Structure 1
Amino acid sequence: MKFKRNLIKNNNNIPTEGSSTSRLQQTTSTTTTTAATTIENRNNNSVKNSRNFQDIGESEEESSSTTTKDRPNKKIKLELNSNMSELHNHINGIDQDTHLDDINNPSFVNKKELVRLLIQSLNSLGYKKSADFLEKDSGISLQSEQVNQFSQSVIEGDWERVESLLPYLKLKSIEEENNVKFLIYSQKYFEYLEKKKIKEALQCLRSEITPLSRDPKKLQTLTSLIMSPPSILESKIKETTTSRLTLLNEIRKYVSSDIMLPENRLQHLIKQAIQYQITKCLYHNTTDNFVGLFEDHVCQKDQMPLSTRFTLRDKHKDEIWYIQFSHDGQKLASCSRDNVILIWDMSGLYKDPLVEPKVIHTLVGHTKEASYLSWSPDDSMLISASNDGNLKLWNVSLGCCIKTFSKHTDAVTTCAWHPDGKRFISGGNDRNIFLWSIESNGSSSSSSSTINSRSSLTNTLNNINSSNSNSNGNNSNSNGNNGNNNNNNIIITTPIKMWVSARVNDLSIHKDGKQLIVICQEKKIRIYDIDNEKTQEISLPETESLTSMVLSNDSKFILVNTSNQEIHLWDLEKKIIVQKYRGHKQSRFVIRACFGGVDQAFVLSGSEDSMIYIWHRQSGTLLETLSGHSGTVNQVCYSPCDPYLFCSASDDQTIKVWSRSPSNNNFMNNNINDSSSNNHSIKNNNNRHNQG
């Protein structure tokens, strides 16, 4: 039997990266070489390639005659002096053709463009007098008088004048001109309808809009508005002034920026600069959206959760293989080699940092290790996948099993909920991927009788709730509620769809619910179309064995752990690896990485050396290595609602809760790594290597 932890490949040493030459030396060397090459090419017509600067000087000293034959030497000397000066200027960054390295150089930006941006910004900020003064003082206009008249005519709705001034926009093609006219005529049509001038609107539609329209759907939509009731019409047409401003901004997209500046261009450039600084800030992890303009943006490492807040021990009796926060961050589910699943209450942490998480439910039912957990979209249910070949659906509030899904013939390694909350997908070592419905009916585990077709999940929950309330009347206690105390467990053996694959290591479902991403033992990332009757598959090849994966919140990227001690960040849209993360140890067991922090700016992973590694997502820079565990750290899981909180699960049978460093030392009363945790031996270690 294969446990969830085993890998295929042996340990591969990470290649040592050589020391790199400083950026300044590289830049200077490259610049010098380029400039010298340019000078040499210029001198080829007057000096042979084999001659150096010294040869030239000596030839000039020997030449004391002023004959016509010797005059070219003076020209060579003058050219040489000029070229040496050019080389000096090039190296020092003041070459006439190179201004990007010296922001203080007046030629770094175009003066006229900068003044136009300032005038536009002053106007947008409401300082019209200042904008007019700058325009007059500099002699530089924001835009031509005709373009000003065009903009004003659009705002005033003078459509005849707008059309007469259209040539001053100097559009590049007839097609662009027709597109702009279509926008103008459509606005005029909307306003006729708003004023209930149906005759004029119909005339505009027939004679002006229809000849320009190449999209039958758009034309059909516009035509249908004539017959629309006032309530629908009002919802489609905003106030006249607002829609005219929108029209003007749409027209800008077709006009050269030399003629009409894009809206709020300077503010847009500032926003780009701020965003760039944030992406380069290695420790950026703040929810404060304000970034000052007077200094470059830099965050300190105190924004990071680098300290242990709590060590949760003595609840699991063996290695902890998997943990997962609920989507609202209020609960944490964990599963262990002891076959037990625990539900932890994490809500108190967000109110009082001294409130230690407590177990609220103990879920028992699997006959072998549970190795994977998945919360339903509304956090009301939990799916567990086990090495016993079964999946169990648990009611979280009641702490009991609702249904068991039994079709796999080997260990179930992974599962994921569909966004609709009614279906989920599982994959296992039997090379099968199944799509299940939680509303499916099956046979009762207590009587094996067929459930009536009218039976539903809701009825099942009601029955469980009733039976529990009639028993002890208390669903949980300090030790958690045992989730195996009901007789309403329904067994489902028929999935609604299946795919045949290689042995499945992990899978995720795209947030749109249309795509299934799977990693298998064949060193491929497979992408399936979930609802298409004809199975469509896209394969992304990898060179190493893939052990686990996690999908980003926007479903555009996946993190993939590999057996050669690397984590790969894949761009699913471009279908390329955009970053690799190195430093952690992974050669024997399954290690699960995660995204974390504000905007998922960090990558975190456990390691076989008992450490936790944190990288900057964009640059791949290793930021921190955290100690505290005494066994392999199998998984790191970040809180979805707190950028300063994450948990880690280890073979040392503990879960650690990590947060920012406290201001009060008493806050860390549970931070000390109790020596008792070191006494937990890793049981039956040899079994973790059996592929089975």
Structure 2
Amino acid sequence: MRPDEANRNIVSNGYSNNPSFLPPRKTSFPVNGHSTAINGSGQNLKNGTSKRRIPRNPTYRGHNREELTRILIQGLKDMGYETSASTLSAESGYELESNEVAAFRSAILSGHWPDAERILTSSPHSEGGGMSGNTGQSLILAGNANKRQMLFAIRQQKFLELLVSRDLLSALKVLREELTPLHFDTYQLHTLSGLLMCTQQELETQLHWPEDPEEARQSLLEELTRSIAPSVMIRDHRLAELLDQVKSAQINQCLYHNTAVAPSLYSDHMCSQEDFPTKTWMILEEHVGEVYCVSFSPDGKWLATAGEDRMCIIYDAVNFRVVQKLQQHDAPITHLAWSPDSKKLLTAAEEPRARVWDALSGKLIMTVEHNNSERRPITSGAWLPDSLSLVTCCHDRDTKMCLWSLSASDLTKPIHTWSGEFRVADVAITPDGRRLLCNDMDSLLVVYDMNTYREEFRMKLSSKITCITPSRDNRTILVNIAEGEVQLIDIENRYPVRKFKGLSQGKNIIRNAFGGAAENFVVSGSKDGAIYIWHKENLALIETLRGHGKGSKSELCVTSISWNPRDAGMFASGGDDRKVRIWSNAVSDDSSMIFDPRIRHPDLGRTSALRSTSNL
């Protein structure tokens, strides 16, 4: 395996898998280069002195020749072509790194913390985009870099390595004598001090610490590099980053990109609209009441549906034959949640009890009930990554959320309870298990740290929230709000980044979903009987699908959407018409398939982005 395959973080479809090995609150650094000079304007902060100069045009097809050459040298090294990298450096006269930069890199990766701190503390900042004098042998920091912040990160790494190796006395000494005197990030200091009390197993759970400490040091170096002038120290794997950006740009321009395979660099990329799931492939008519929930299992093998008829039906996701019918609830089922291992299913209804089932056998594993005198219904639930723990919520302030464990000695008692000033309507947990998200009966979104059970932050949105859906990368969530839009919220930076409009919602509980192989789409039902699909990055409304009919109350509402996580060309929808529709990118030729003759062919009820861009 070549170095780039072993070490660099693979980016697919524009999504970066960049794990952090720091404790819950990750330290962020200034973006690399925001206040430094670009080569060619002002005085350059060159990465080493030139060996020799061959007269050449300073640009290559509009790009800075020095920048491009040094990035190519780094890329060749990444791919293991050391000889080619050396030849290019000798021929061009450009060095990748100065001795001081190389020494800093080596000190971080080898864990020689005093050397790393010495080089850092003696490094000047760039001012006004440049530095006077010969800076070729210096480690130059970006103008907005915070040395205390960088020192904190280095000493934190030192503390964590001692902690993981169980040298608790040395770790405590670093905490007291090196980290605390910096007077930086009090919250993080408290988190670090709490880690001293953790067992080895608890540390591994919270830190996700790698077997090789150099992996954690590499992550630290990548963060520190963001505060170093880019003309002095190029961020690791910069060529790969730029190529990822090229691919991301092509994906974002492709309205129907729905594959996990990254585009080729050989040619421009475009997906066909015909490969997108816009056709009704099957209609499931087992329910005798309105359908409130549809949910594919995480492994994509099963589909669970439930609703007004108090019944949860489990189908296989190949032929959509009924596997189980779960019928012990005494009220309409309003929520479903699969465990991450796809073996267990939580059902919540308009009653004080929620149930946990063995999905395939239909055996009832556990019944949970919040201990509140008013016996309010359990409204929602979410699983932790271990598939043994889950959180449920209800409209009671005293027991608004409860954490349960299937491995507890007493299954009737929660292992933790949250109480507070508001009642909870919906709850979700990020796939990494780090954050618990919930919303009240109105417009309040609250985020908790699942390691400490403490509130992390809260946001007030513009109208009532009806559901929460976390993304697979743990960074964003989708929320439907009553005024008729879906918002994409960045929970790392704590603000809405995109708003998707066009649907009709009002007071109805309508659930959204991320769609596509790389979650490139946002999907939601609507009170007007349509399914709306937007491109997540460019906000384009690419499809409006119709097919669901009116329910018993003469409403057309599509209540729930679920995209198959293992088949990007399939998703399911449920509505007030008591039907579940399976949407696909191909129409089945099975003559025995059930179709409702009262519903027109989906192609006739579809509005394509290619025909309606003027309305966007």
Instruction: State the TM-score, normalizing by the size of structure 1.
Output: 0.57
Within 5 A, what are the aligned runs for 1:354-373?
Answer: 356-373=319-336
Q: 1:645 is aligned with what amino acid?
A: M
Q: 1:287 is aligned with what amino acid?
A: A
Within 5 A, what are the aligned runs for 1:541-620?
Answer: 541-620=460-539
Q: 1:634 is aligned with what amino acid?
A: T
Structure 1 residues 248 and 667: alpha-carbon distance in aligned structure 2, compared to 1, 3 A threshold: same
Q: Deviations for 1:530-564, whole angstroms, at most 9, x for unmatched residues?
A: 5647x536320012111222122233222111111
1:666 pairs with 2:597: no
- Matching residue within 119, 136, 139 for 1:171: 139
- Matching residue within 531, 534, 539 for 2:458: 539
- Matching residue within 508, 516, 525 for 2:436: 516
For 1:505, the equivalent position in structure 2 comes to: 425
- Matching residue within 278, 283, 286 for 1:306: 278
Structure 1 residues 142 and 624: alpha-carbon distance in aligned structure 2, compared to 1, 3 A threshold: same
CA contact (8 A) 2:388 2:407 kept: no
Give aligned-pair identity as a percent.
Answer: 29
Alpha-carbon distance, 1:603 to partner: 0.6
Alpha-carbon distance, 1:614 to partner: 0.3
Alpha-carbon distance, 1:118 to partner: 4.8
For 2:598, the equivalent position in structure 1 comes to: 675
For 1:623, the equivalent position in structure 2 comes to: 542
Structure 1 residues 108 and 345: alpha-carbon distance in aligned structure 2, compared to 1, 3 A threshold: same
Q: 1:406 is aligned with what amino acid?
A: E
Q: Deviations for 1:248-299, whole angstroms, at most 9, x for unmatched residues?
A: 999988976546655554444223222232233322211223x222433322
SS of residue in 2 equivalent to 1:270: helix
Which one has a bigger Cα radius of gyration?
1
For 2:28, the equivalent position in structure 1 comes to: none
Q: Deviations for 1:487-542, whole angstroms, at most 9, x for unmatched residues?
A: xxxxx477742424534321112344453211112321122345647x53632001
For 1:14, the equivalent position in structure 2 comes to: none
CA distance in 1, matches of 2:384, 2:221: 42
Q: 1:310 is aligned with what amino acid?
A: M
CA distance in 2, matches of 1:328, 1:424: 19
For 1:345, the equivalent position in structure 2 comes to: 316
CA distance in 2, matches of 1:126, 1:554: 30
Alpha-carbon distance, 1:430 to partner: 3.8
SS of residue in 1 equivalent to 2:400: strand
Structure 1 residues 538 and 668: alpha-carbon distance in aligned structure 2, compared to 1, 3 A threshold: farther
Alpha-carbon distance, 1:344 to partner: 1.4
For 1:278, the equivalent position in structure 2 comes to: 251
Q: 1:338 is aligned with what amino acid?
A: D
CA distance in 1, matches of 2:218, 2:401: 52
Alpha-carbon distance, 1:616 to partner: 0.7
Structure 1 residues 628 and 117: alpha-carbon distance in aligned structure 2, compared to 1, 3 A threshold: same
Within 5 A, what are the aligned runs for 1:312-461?
Answer: 312-313=284-285, 315-346=286-317, 349=318, 356-407=319-370, 409-431=375-397, 432-439=399-406
Q: Deviations for 1:580-619, whole angstroms, at most 9, x for unmatched residues?
A: 1111121242111111112211111111222111001122
Within 5 A, what are the aligned runs for 1:114-193?
Answer: 114-118=68-72, 140-142=93-95, 169-172=137-140
CA contact (8 A) 1:427 1:504 kept: yes
Structure 1 residues 109 and 364: alpha-carbon distance in aligned structure 2, compared to 1, 3 A threshold: same
CA distance in 1, matches of 2:312, 2:345: 10
- Matching residue within 568, 580, 584 for 1:643: 568
CA contact (8 A) 2:335 2:348 kept: yes
CA distance in 1, matches of 2:566, 2:65: 46
Structure 1 residues 393 and 170: alpha-carbon distance in aligned structure 2, compared to 1, 3 A threshold: closer
CA distance in 1, matches of 2:138, 2:213: 29
For 1:465, the equivalent position in structure 2 comes to: none
Structure 1 residues 544 and 149: alpha-carbon distance in aligned structure 2, compared to 1, 3 A threshold: closer
Q: Deviations for 1:153-192, whole angstroms, at most 9, x for unmatched residues?
A: 99xx9x9xxx9xx99622338x99xx99xx9xxxxxxxxx
Q: 2:329 is aligned with what amino acid?
A: H
CA distance in 1, matches of 2:404, 2:479: 28
Structure 1 residues 563 and 396: alpha-carbon distance in aligned structure 2, compared to 1, 3 A threshold: same
Q: 2:339 is aligned with what amino acid?
A: S
Structure 1 residues 508 and 246: alpha-carbon distance in aligned structure 2, compared to 1, 3 A threshold: closer
Q: Deviations for 1:111-145, whole angstroms, at most 9, x for unmatched residues?
A: 3433444566567667788778877776x444699
Alpha-carbon distance, 1:412 to partner: 2.4
Alpha-carbon distance, 1:245 to partner: 12
CA distance in 2, matches of 1:251, 1:501: 41
Higher helix share: 1
Structure 1 residues 148 and 318: alpha-carbon distance in aligned structure 2, compared to 1, 3 A threshold: closer
SS of residue in 2 equivalent to 1:324: strand
CA distance in 2, matches of 1:311, 1:568: 30
Structure 1 residues 578 and 125: alpha-carbon distance in aligned structure 2, compared to 1, 3 A threshold: closer
Higher relative contact order (CA 8 A, sep 6+): 1
Count of residue correspondences: 464
Alpha-carbon distance, 1:578 to partner: 0.8
SS of residue in 2 equivalent to 1:277: helix
CA contact (8 A) 2:402 2:414 kept: no
Q: 1:647 is aligned with what amino acid?
A: A
CA distance in 2, matches of 1:131, 1:512: 39
1:110 pairs with 2:64: yes
CA distance in 2, matches of 1:247, 1:262: 12
Alpha-carbon distance, 1:342 to partner: 1.1
SS of residue in 2 equivalent to 1:169: coil
Instruction: State the TM-score, normalizing by the size of structure 2.
Output: 0.63
CA contact (8 A) 1:322 1:373 kept: yes
CA distance in 2, matches of 1:251, 1:425: 37
Q: Deviations for 1:78-124, whole angstroms, at most 9, x for unmatched residues?
A: xxxxxxxxxxxxxxxxxx9xxxxxxxx96832234334445665676
Structure 1 residues 111 and 357: alpha-carbon distance in aligned structure 2, compared to 1, 3 A threshold: same
CA distance in 1, matches of 2:452, 2:60: 60
- Matching residue within 577, 580, 583 for 1:652: 577
For 2:559, the equivalent position in structure 1 comes to: 634
Task: Give the gaps of 5 or more residues in structure 1.
Answer: 1-95, 97-104, 184-209, 218-234, 350-355, 442-453, 458-491, 679-692
CA distance in 1, matches of 2:353, 2:217: 61
**RMSD (Å), alpha carbons:** 4.8
Q: 1:608 is aligned with what amino acid?
A: K
SS of residue in 2 equivalent to 1:600: coil
CA contact (8 A) 1:389 1:410 kept: yes
CA distance in 2, matches of 1:393, 1:338: 18
Alpha-carbon distance, 1:301 to partner: 1.9
Within 5 A, what are the aligned runs for 1:80-99?
Answer: none
SS of residue in 2 equivalent to 1:276: helix
Structure 1 residues 668 and 553: alpha-carbon distance in aligned structure 2, compared to 1, 3 A threshold: farther
For 1:292, the equivalent position in structure 2 comes to: 264
CA distance in 2, matches of 1:639, 1:514: 24
Q: 2:277 is aligned with what amino acid?
A: P
CA contact (8 A) 2:280 2:584 kept: yes
CA contact (8 A) 2:98 2:136 kept: no
CA distance in 2, matches of 1:526, 1:627: 34
Alpha-carbon distance, 1:393 to partner: 2.3
Alpha-carbon distance, 1:666 to partner: 2.1
